[in-house]
């Protein structure tokens, strides 16, 4: 989940532990002042009566790590992002202090927080079918007579490959989040939990020196066979049972992950454990402006925008907003072709447009309140005195989307003095990201892209946009290696830029469809003209037909010759 998506939050659900009255009062006042809905439930209670899946919801826990874990149990199955506020004592998971609550929430509401994807673990055994975020422990059962043998014997398999016998206190299967608990105490490794989706098997005080911690993927199926009685605990006892000899336990990564919201008011992971465990091995002070910083390749976003110019900063925001908007589009795209929704397919497409548009325009408006916004799907702000204008198409290729076709995209552009200067096109189904700044280059997923250098039609692949009477197809199909139609003008321009096509044709264009693609194609070396060969001029809004002919440059003369020879504007 992208942090920019949090900017559309309109509902809060708080899980509240006892002795959290002060932070709850602060949260209530803050939500009231901003017109946000707030529902509260006690630890252990279900949120089914207050949760509305149609609303953008943020989960908040007020308490210690125990309350946080209850929040994970409640929020993760519903894919609700969760912010933990520490009103307890020694907390590793809930890391926002009560005095920072309002500032942290403001950061969330402006889409400036990060969202960590945390791996969960799923376990089945006789009498247990549970999911946890920390660990699964299989241990010896204390004997009635304290002098009797206190040993568990376990056979362990990974995808039917025998790992070995664990004899001793038992073993733990930990997620990276849980690696600082039982794993650390048993001299196992500490795993960095942010977007780390592994599982680790850690022996607990075994009598066999050959047993070592093992790391596996979340898709690995671990089978544990008991060779006597054993105690099974999930997340410290939130699920618990006593197993008999030859019982089988199956452990694997859970299908759904927990989404943990992190702000600049949180301690970093290693800072937190250094301070709270008293390791004193490093300076635990991290400057706030560095807390969410991470290096990125050219053309991709970073969360720290200070010191960059407006266009570079706009590229960062556009990238984050487009990726955040891609999440609900992917979710809704998967529903389009299901039998249950065929009757209301248009409602899903409308909802997809609405959600993506809201995420992007909210992110842009938060970061650039003085800029104008022109979006296909929402209120259009002309902003006569604005120095910059954003042109947005939250869903280019609506027809494809409505039929379950993956060729749709998100287009975000920045206009300065009437010319597109920054463009981002994101393809949710393939996770491809095309970016460019005019005069600085174009990138796909951070790697530079350029157009092809072919100059012969018979060696070239062409893409056609809207071709009402098929004249482009009929006139060029036999002259080239093929003419394709994808159904997304933004994608057409990006594929020209990246060399997947040598030329494209659009019978008529809309500004929101092509604004970002124009920047990307031109920055990659493309030549863009009208059908007469005159340079293509970007016009924000017009009812006139405006044809676009784009190529790698070297192919353009041959294209224009064939256009003049046989491609004419069809009669109305």
Residues belonging to the active site? 65
Checking phi first, is residue 482 left (phi over 0); if not, alpha (psi -120 to 50) or beta? Answer: left
Integer-rounded Cα Rg, in Å, for the chain is 28
Q: Angle of helix 511-523 relative to helix 489-498, nearest 10 degrees?
A: 0
Tell me the torsion sign for CA atoms 396, 399, 404, 407.
negative
d(C-alpha 328, C-alpha 348), whole Å: 11
Residue 518 marked ligand-binding: no
What DSSP character marks residue 5? G
Q: Angle of helix 21-33 relative to helix 101-109, nearest 10 degrees?
A: 40
Q: Which residue is associated with the tokens 């009757």? A: 343
Which is it for strands 128-132 and 409-416: parallel, antiparallel or unpaired? unpaired
What's the first-to-final CA gap in the chain, in angstroms?
A: 47
Residue 199 marked ligand-binding: no
What DSSP character marks residue 141? P
Residue 66 marked ligand-binding: yes
d(C-alpha 95, C-alpha 426), whole Å: 33
Q: Residues 554, 555, 560, CA angle at the centre, nearest 5°?
A: 120
Closest of 277, 287, 154 to residue 225, by C-alpha: 154
Q: Which residue is associated with the tokens 């400036």? A: 112
Q: Which residue is associated with the tokens 């650390």? A: 184
Residue 127 marked ligand-binding: no
What does each C-alpha distance from 329 to 81, 219, 223, 332, 398 come to in angstroms?
A: 18, 26, 37, 5, 11
d(C-alpha 63, C-alpha 493), whole Å: 51
Residue 24 marked ligand-binding: no
Q: Provide the token pair at 465.
A: 């946009």
d(C-alpha 4, C-alpha 115), whole Å: 9
Residue 267 marked ligand-binding: no
d(C-alpha 7, C-alpha 56), whole Å: 9
Which residues are within 8 A (CB) of 117 and not within 5 positions of it... i.e. 6 or more apart? 1, 195, 197, 257, 258, 259
Q: Residues 26, 114, 302, CA angle at the centre, nearest 5°?
A: 135
Residue 395 marked ligand-binding: yes
d(C-alpha 463, C-alpha 551), whole Å: 10
3-state secondary structure of 148: coil
For residues 485, 438, 302, 351, the Cα torsion angle rounded to the nearest 10 degrees is -40
3-state secondary structure of 513: helix
What DSSP character marks residue 96? B
Residue 513 marked ligand-binding: yes
d(C-alpha 475, C-alpha 563), whole Å: 8
Tell me the torsion sign for CA atoms 361, 362, 364, 370.
positive
Tell me, rounded to whole angstroms, the distance of Cα 527 from its chain centroid: 34
Q: b/e for 118-138, b at 16 or more Cβ within 10 A?
A: bbbbbbebeebebbbbbbbbb
Q: What residues are designated binding site for NAD(+)? A: 65-66, 134-135, 150
Q: What residues are designated binding site? A: 65-66, 134-135, 150, 376, 393, 395-396, 513
Q: What residues are designated binding site for Mg(2+)? A: 376, 393, 395-396, 513
């Amino acid at each position: 989940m992208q942090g920019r998506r949090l900017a559309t939050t309109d509902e809060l659900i708080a899980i509240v532990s006892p002795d959290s009255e002060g932070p709850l009062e602060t949260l209530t006042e803050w939500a009231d002042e901003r017109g946000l809905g707030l529902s509260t439930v006690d630890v252990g209670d279900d949120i089914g009566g207050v949760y509305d899946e149609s609303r953008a919801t943020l989960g908040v826990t007020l308490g210690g790590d125990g309350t946080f874990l209850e929040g994970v149990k409640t929020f993760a199955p519903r894919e609700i992002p969760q912010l933990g506020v520490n009103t307890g004592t020694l907390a590793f998971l809930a890391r926002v202090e009560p005095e920072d609550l309002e500032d942290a929430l403001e950061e969330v509401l402006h889409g400036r927080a990060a969202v960590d994807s945390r791996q969960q673990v799923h376990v089945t055994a006789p009498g247990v079918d549970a999911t946890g975020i920390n660990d699964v422990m299989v241990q010896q059962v204390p004997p009635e007579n304290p002098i009797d043998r206190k040993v568990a014997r376990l056979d362990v398999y990974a995808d039917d490959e025998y790992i070995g016998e664990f004899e001793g206190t038992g073993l733990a299967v930990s997620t990276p989040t849980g690696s600082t608990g039982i794993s650390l105490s048993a001299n196992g490794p500490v795993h960095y939990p942010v977007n780390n989706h592994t599982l680790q098997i850690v022996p607990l005080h075994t009598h066999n020196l050959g047993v070592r911690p093992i790391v596996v993927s979340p898709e690995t199926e671990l089978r544990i066979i008991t060779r006597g009685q054993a105690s099974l605990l999930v997340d410290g006892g939130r699920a618990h049972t006593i197993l008999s000899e030859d019982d089988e336990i199956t452990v694997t990564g859970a299908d759904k992950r927990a989404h943990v919201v992190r702000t600049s008011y949180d301690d970093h992971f290693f800072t937190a454990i250094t301070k709270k465990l008293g390791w004193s091995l490093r300076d635990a002070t991290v400057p706030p402006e560095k807390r969410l910083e991470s290096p990125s390749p050219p053309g991709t976003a970073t969360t720290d925008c200070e010191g960059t110019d407006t266009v570079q900063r706009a590229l960062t925001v556009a990238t984050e907003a487009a990726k955040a908007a891609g999440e609900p589009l992917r979710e809704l795209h998967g529903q389009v072709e299901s039998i249950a929704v065929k009757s209301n397919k248009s409602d899903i497409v409308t909802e997809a447009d609405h959600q993506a548009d809201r995420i992007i325009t909210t992110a842009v408006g938060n970061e650039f309140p003085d800029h104008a916004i022109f979006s296909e799907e929402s209120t259009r702000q002309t902003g006569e005195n604005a120095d910059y204008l954003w042109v947005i198409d939250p869903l280019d290729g609506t027809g494809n989307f409505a039929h379950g076709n993956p060729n749709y995209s998100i287009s975000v552009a920045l206009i300065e003095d009437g010319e597109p200067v920054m463009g981002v096109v994101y393809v949710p189904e393939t996770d491809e990201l095309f970016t460019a700044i005019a005069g600085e280059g174009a990138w796909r997923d951070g790697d530079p892209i350029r157009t092809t250098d072919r100059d012969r039609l018979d060696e070239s692949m062409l893409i056609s946009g809207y071709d009402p009477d098929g004249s482009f197809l009929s006139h060029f199909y036999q002259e080239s290696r093929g003419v394709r139609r994808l159904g997304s003008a933004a994608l057409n321009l990006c594929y020209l830029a990246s060399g997947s096509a040598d030329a494209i044709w659009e019978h008529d264009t809309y500004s929101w469809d092509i604004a970002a693609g124009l920047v990307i194609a031109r920055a990659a070396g493309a030549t863009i003209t009208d059908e007469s060969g005159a340079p293509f001029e970007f016009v924000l809004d017009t009812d006139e037909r405006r044809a676009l002919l784009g190529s790698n440059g070297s192919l353009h003369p041959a294209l224009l010759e064939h256009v003049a020879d046989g491609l004419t504007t069809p009669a109305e």
